[in-house]
């Protein structure tokens, strides 16, 4: 896979997460998406790890607020993000 493809795919996943995240997480997700789109592709592994941490945080935030529907949507995106990161070699599953 090319770095441009990986950058674009991570950006799309962050956009999906942005659409289902709450107000506070949304700001962080939007900032990370901008970072992914504008910084060196050499940083993708670190940005992927940060994206997964944000996705995890949005899930826990929804659970803490009792919003099961938001959690369900966020968890699905988190799983998609983790699968992409693993297949792209951006994260290590161990």
pLDDT tens, residue by residue, 42-83: 899 999 999 999 999 999 999 999 999 999 999 999 999 999
Please give the Cα distance from 19 to 43 (Å, whole number): 24
**What residue numbers bound the domain in which 36 lies?**
3-87
Residue 94 placed within a domain: no
Q: What is the pTM of this model?
A: 0.89
In a domain, 92, yes or no: no
Residue 93 forms part of a structural domain: no
How many independent structural domains does the chain possess? 1
Reported confidence tier of residue 14, pLDDT bands at 50, 70, 90: very high
CA-to-CA dists, residue 75 to 12, 41, 42, 72, 92, angstroms: 16, 26, 27, 5, 19
Quick check: is 29 in a domain? yes
65 found inside a domain: yes
Burial of 4 from C-beta contacts in 10 A (0-12 / 13-18 / 19+): exposed
CA distance to 2, 92, 93, 94, per residue, from 29 (Å): 23, 22, 23, 25
Residue 70 inside a domain? The answer is yes
Q: Considering the domain boundaries, does residue 10 fall inside one?
A: yes
């Amino acid at each position: 896979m090319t770095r441009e493809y990986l950058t674009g795919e991570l950006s799309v996943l962050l956009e999906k997460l942005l659409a289902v995240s709450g107000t506070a997480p949304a700001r962080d997700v939007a900032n990370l998406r901008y970072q992914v789109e504008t910084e060196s592709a050499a940083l993708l592994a670190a940005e992927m790890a940060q994206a997964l941490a944000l996705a995890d945080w949005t899930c826990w935030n929804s659970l803490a607020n009792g919003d099961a529907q938001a959690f369900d949507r966020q968890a699905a995106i988190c799983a998609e993000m983790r699968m992409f990161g693993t297949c792209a070699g951006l994260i290590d599953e161990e």
